[in-house]
Amino acid sequence: MVGMRAAYHEALEQARLDVVRLGALVGDAVHAAVVSLEKRDTTLAARVIGGDDDVDTLRRRIEQSCIELIWKQQPVAGELRQVAAMLEIIVDLERIGDYAVEISKHSIKLADVAIRPARVEIGRIASIAAEMLREAMRAYTERDVPVAEAVIARDDEVDELYARGIEALQEEMQADSGTVRAGTIMLFVLANLERVGDRAQNVAWHTKEMLGKA
């Protein structure tokens, strides 16, 4: 029985490490997608799109591990909260990976567009959303409730920048019809980045729930 519990805890820890790896993978994807947008790097954008299969494969592996953890041996309350949190968090992380893919696709569309709106702060909102994701994963890894709470509180900052970005894009498109095509695409980019922030906030919430602090 002791051996079975030891193997169970080892499998639980392996699943947890895979969640951390998934967080790092999608974090890198978001960063690369934004760089591809800013530098008109279609090769980098294509690499992000191609890497989505790795994200999906790892997510499925974690999901399967969680299912096995539940049916192989009845988890106690704390273990069950960990498994439940993993199942929730990997959904949010996979969606963040999807947003990185969408940004990369928009990056490719914008690569040959000469005129882009100048006032929208894509880089700033991307930086904050990416930092929220890093901190959310740090909260999960270190089981740190105050860090999770700080991530949750920061979502308002992303929402404010998102609203300002939409306003700035609309003003520029109205003032210069030459920016309409690029501006429209960048509206979608802004929406993707805002959702990265939302999903990072979700990860932080799930971490609090896992620790029994929600």
pLDDT band at 2 (very low <50, low <70, confident <90, very high): low
Alpha helices in 73-118, H assignment, sequence order: 77-110
CB 184 within 8 A of CB 109: no
Amino acid in position 162: Y
Which residues have C-beta within 8 Å of that of residue 59, sequence separation ≥ 6? 22, 90, 91, 93, 94
- Which of 122-131, 134-143, 177-186 is the most confident on average? 134-143
Rounded to two decimals, the pTM is 0.93
**What class, spelled out in words, does domain 2-210 have in CATH?**
mainly alpha
pLDDT digits (tens, 9 = 90+) for 59-76: 999 999 999 988 877 777
DSSP, collapsed to helix, strand or coil, labels residue 100 as: helix
Q: What is the pLDDT of residues 8-38, one digit of tens each?
A: 889 899 999 999 999 999 999 999 999 999 9
For residue 25, give both structure tokens.
Answer: 């993978």
Q: For 143-149, which contacts have Cβ atoms below 8 Å and span 24 or more sequence positions? A: 143/207, 143/210, 143/211, 145/207, 145/208, 145/211, 145/213, 147/204, 148/204, 148/205, 148/207, 148/208, 148/213, 149/204, 149/208
Domain boundaries, the chain: 2-210
Take residue 39 and report the two structure tokens written for it.
Answer: 């530098």
